[in-house]
Structure formats: C-alpha cells, structure tokens
Amino acid sequence: MHRKFHGSSFVASVLFASLLAINTHAQLTDFAELSAKAAQGNAEAQFKLGLRHVRGEGVPQNNSEGIRWLQKSAEQGFAPAQSELGYMYEQGHGTSVNYGEALKWYRKAAEQGLPLGQNNVGAMYDQGRGVPVDRAEAARWFRKAAEQGLPIGQRNFGNALAQGRGVQQDYVEAYKWLRLAALQGIQPARESIREISLRMTPAEIEEARRRADEFRKSRGAPTRASGSGFFITEDGFFVTNFHVVRDATRIIIRTDAGNFPAQLVTADKANDVALLKANGSFKPLPLAASRDAKLGDAVFTVGFPNIHLQGTAPKLTDGKINSLVGMEDDPRYFQVNVATQPGNSGGALINERGNVIGIITLRMTESVTYQQTGSLPQNVNFAVKSAYALALLESQPAVASRLKHPQTSKRSFADAVKAATNASALVFAD
C-alpha cells in the first residue's frame, strides 16, 4: 500500500534518491579493489563500500558496517556520505536514533550544496527533529533543493507553497514545483496537484505549467511529459495509460517514421487506459485475453523510460508474472518483475506468443515503501490486464472490428521482440 504525503515533508536517502551528485549505481566489479581503495582512504570508495554493506550487495547486509565506512567518508567531507550517514542516524539503521547527529551530517552536506542534504535539513526543521519546528527555515532549504532539480525537494517546496507553510501561500508556484516533481516520477506530487487544481482557475494552471516548462528549459530538460504505448490497428488506433495523456492539450506519437499528432478518442479513467488515434499506416500488436495468463509466465515490454537520461531509442526489459493480482490483491493487475522506470507507463506487456496481455501502469515506489516497511521493493511492478483494455475497445465497434487476431502458437523471442518494437511508440503530452 502506498501512503500519501500531502501534508508532510519527506526525508530521502541516496538509496532511492533520483538525483545525486555522483552515480551511486555505478559499481566496481571487483569488490576487493573497492575495499582496498576504501582502506587506503579514498572517500568515494568508502562511501560506495558503505552503501554496499547497507544494501547487502556482494556482501551480507550489515548496517553497522555500512555506517562505519560512511562515517570514514563523511569525516573526509564527502557530501553524499554525510547525507546518507545523517539518514542512518535519523532512521536508527545500524545505530540508535539520534536526530542531533542526523541534522549535523545533513547540514554539512547541505552547506556543500548537495540538494539531498538541503532537502533533509528542511525536513528536520519542518518536523522538529533535532531542532525546534521552524517552517520558514524548512521552506528555505526545500527551495534550495528544488531549484537544483531534486524532485523530492520540489515536492516538499510545492506542498509548503500550497499550504502556506513557512512561506506565503501561492497555488501557481506550488503547482509549478509539484508538476516538476511529478514529471520526474514522484507520484504523491500528482495527488497534491489534483487537490490544488480544484482551487485554481484555468489561467492560473496554464501559467503554472508555463513556469514549470521555463524551469525545465533553463536546465536543458525536455518540457513535455512522456510515456509509452502501442498501435493496435494498422490505421493508427493506439493504446497507452490515461495518466500519460491526462489534461493534455496536445499529444504527439513519435515513431521511426516521424511525429504524428494524435487525439484522445476515449478513456477508462478508473483503470488508466486510453485510446488514441493518429493518421497513418502502422504495424499493430494483437491483444489476447489476460485470463489465460499463468503465474510464472515469461513476459516483456518495449518502452521509452527516462528519455532525458536514456535517450529515445526503444528499451526492452523482460521477466515473469509474479502474481495474478496487484497491490492489496487487486484483481485488475498483474504483478511482474519486468524492470520499469518513469516513461515505461503505457507500454505493452507481451507474452511468449507476442500477444499483449497487459499494459505497464505503475511500480511500487521505493521511497514510500521504504518509509512504510523499512526495506526497498525489489523490482515490484504492475500492469493492468488486457481485459480492461479490450472492454474499452469493444465500446468502439469500428475499432474492435479491426483488431489483429491473437497469435495462437509460440513464436521465437526475436520475432516477438521485432513485432513489439515496430508497434511501440513514444508518447509526448503537453
């Protein structure tokens, strides 16, 4: 279950932060070499070694040993280690909870300009941990993190503006920062946007979006939200998630042949399925009944994740069906271990026959899950079953009559991937 954080600030760890001063996921393949560098006093190696112990990567998970190496790195002034060490003290991982120590290390990182540290200092002031509550000081630190592009900081600062918490209430600026966070995959920011948009005029919302786009342009980021999807007919009917195109005034489907303007034909908002239409000739995928899927079936998706980091070429990830139900046993979803990132939403979940049996819809958020359970989810993702897409398509007789018939025999993986790649496309929504 996901907890909403509409009114509370959020402290983040480098274990799941989406922005970091260094690439914490780049790992040395030789653990002995990493250990040797750490022993020689290399601060970055000490930090990475500490994270390995905390994560249990290549070594048994050991928070106490992780803290030992993080402390060595932090004492040398390595800002990411300082922020992570503060998090360990705040959460009581491998040590007793100590808000004073947590704030001390967060502040050291923040004063070096690390946005994660700045956000966490803000959260400590906001929550009164290790220091008296000071909402104005909290907002000041959140703003520093937000202006550096940290999505959690943007979400926290946006909420402060929306609620007038330590800063003058300003729905337009709040919407701007929350939108920036949402575009980077912070789902609770979307919930906050929905709340404040009810109190805003269309002109105010447009201005907030313009400001968000200007901020993204200033940082060289794409200004449009993006997702994945797939053609289901040769004449351009196309399926994606509704949340990919929600509130869009313009939709573009990008294929190897170029950009195609598209219109929203209809949608099942409750089940997050949208039907679009573009003009042209395309190669579609067949949809099959999801009721025939079994636990352990091999599946894959082709999508366009994190295009501002990974580029716009199609990306394939594969795995298995881990459960025939979603979170809290929701029967509308499959749980899969097919790796997904922001931008995979709307992509086809495809079985070994090359048939679409679901639509990639959401993933278990690392930050929220960690706050609730104390552990990170291990590649837990969800796809809405094709039955719900087929129900929507059957409400459009002209579309239903032109769908491809499902493949009835197993085909080679290479052929299935080729067909999926030809039918999949990148979706931009303004």
Per-residue pLDDT reduced to its tens digit, 229-244: 999 999 999 999 999 9
Closest CA to 152 of 162, 141, 136, 163: 141
**Which residue ranges form the domains of the chain, and what is each CATH number?**
31-217 (1.25.40.10), 224-430 (2.40.10.120)
Distance of alpha carbon 100 from its chain centroid, rounded? 31
Residue 383's beta-bridge partner residues?
334, 360
Average pLDDT rounded to a whole number, residues 39-68? 91
Percent of the residues in the chain that have a pLDDT greater than 70, as a whole number: 88
What letter would DSSP give residue 287? B
What pLDDT was estimated at residue 34? 85
What pLDDT was estimated at residue 6? 39
User: What's this model's pTM, rounded to 2 decimal places?
Assistant: 0.55
HSE, CB side, 13 Å, CA atoms: give it for residue 23.
Answer: 5
What pLDDT was estimated at residue 186? 81
Model pLDDT for residues 180-230, shown as the tens digit of each residue:
998 776 878 888 999 999 999 988 998 998 999 899 888 876 556 789 999
Percent of the residues in the chain that have a pLDDT greater than 90, as a whole number: 70
CA distance 19 to 86: 17
CA distance 182 to 150: 11
Distance of alpha carbon 185 from its chain centroid, rounded? 3
Model pLDDT for residues 358-410, shown as the tens digit of each residue:
999 987 655 544 555 555 556 789 999 999 999 999 999 889 999 999 999 88
Average pLDDT rounded to a whole number, residues 168-173? 97
What interhelical angle do 202-218 and 171-183 show, nearest 10? 50
Query: What type of residue sits at position 91?
Result: Q
- 418: tokens are 């080729």
In the predicted model, is pLDDT for residue 161 greater than 90?
yes
CA distance 235 to 281: 5
- Beta pairing class for 333-336 and 315-323: antiparallel
Average pLDDT rounded to a whole number, residues 118-147? 97
Q: Who contacts 415 (Cβ-Cβ below 8 Å, separation ≥6)? A: 354
Query: What type of residue sits at position 191?
Result: E
Residue 3 confidence class, pLDDT cut points 50, 70, 90: very low
- Beta pairing class for 273-278 and 237-240: antiparallel
Mean pLDDT, the chain, rounded, equals: 88
Model pLDDT for residues 277-321, shown as the tens digit of each residue:
999 999 999 999 999 999 999 999 999 998 866 778 899 999 999
What pLDDT was estimated at residue 215? 93
CA distance 38 to 41: 5
In the predicted model, is pLDDT for residue 84 greater than 70?
yes
Distance of alpha carbon 252 from its chain centroid, rounded? 21
What pLDDT was estimated at residue 371? 52
What pLDDT was estimated at residue 365? 58
Q: State the DSSP H helix or E strand holding residue 227, giving kind and residue range, or none if neither.
A: strand 225-231
Residue found under tokens 């909403």: 4
CA distance 253 to 230: 10
What letter would DSSP give residue 142? H
Helices and strands of the chain, counted as H and E runs = 17, 12
**Phi, psi (degrees; rounded to nearest 5) at 299:** -145, 165
- 126: tokens are 């906001």
- 301: tokens are 């998706």
| Residue 129, number of CB atoms within 10 A of its CB | 18
Give DSSP secondary structure letters for 78-127.
-HHHHHHHHHHHHHTSSS---HHHHHHHHHHHHHTT-HHHHHHHHHHHHH
- 314: tokens are 């199609």
